[in-house]
Amino acid sequence: MDFDLTEEQRAWQKAVHDFVAKEVRPRAQEVGETGEFNWEAARKGAALGLLGLAIPEEYGGAGVDSISAAVAIEELGWGCGSTALSLAAHNGLGTLPIVLYGSDALKKRWLPIVASGKGKLAALALTEPDAGSDLQGGVKTKAVKSNDRWVINGAKMCARTLPSRSTS
């Protein structure tokens, strides 16, 4: 079995590495100290395809294979671990379920927005006030199909912006 990257994957790796070296790595310490997300790099990365790794090109994404997506996250991690984790969650937990299971209407509505960098990052609403992320019995939110619609009952936790930490 051949474990080498293809020529196309190596070119992708270099393009992502060069982007990360210029836009992500120089702010990694600041991001770590302040806890502020590097929105500027994320939005610039959209043009390269970093916000739409698995999103098909017809919806504005990069539509790369799984190895190329992993290479991109690895390069992001080289530059800044928290930025890599955020974009990995956006791509894997937020956009991939829509790509794989979303209706055409859902894909047309949301995928171009999240791949473009003009909106926010996509997310998976999992954590609940009384359960955290306990899928084995703690999560109480339910979705029930009623006629041609889904009715969702329950509560999820919202992300909050944390105050910046003082380094003095």
CB 72 within 8 A of CB 16: yes
Alpha helix (H) ranges present in the chain?
A: 7-23, 28-34, 39-48, 66-79, 81-89, 96-101, 104-116
Distance between CA atoms of residues 56 and 46, nearest Å: 14
SS3 24: coil
User: Does the pLDDT at position 135 exceed 80?
Assistant: no
> Span 97-109, mean pLDDT?
96
Domain locations in the chain as residue ranges: 7-124, 127-158
Residue 123's CB is within 10 A of a number of other CB atoms, namely 15
CATH code of 7-124, in short, is 1.10.540.10
**Summary mean pLDDT of the chain:** 90
> Span 99-125, mean pLDDT?
93
Give 163's pLDDT tier (boundaries 50, 70, 90): very low
| CA angle (37, 98, 158) in 5-degree steps | 45
User: Does the pLDDT at position 89 exceed 70?
Assistant: yes
The pLDDT value given to residue 164? 44
pTM, to two decimals: 0.82
pLDDT 10s digits, 28-79: 999 999 999 999 999 999 999 999 999 999 999 999 999 999 999 999 999 9
CB 77 within 8 A of CB 21: no
Give 167's pLDDT tier (boundaries 50, 70, 90): very low
Percent of the chain scoring above 90 in pLDDT: 73
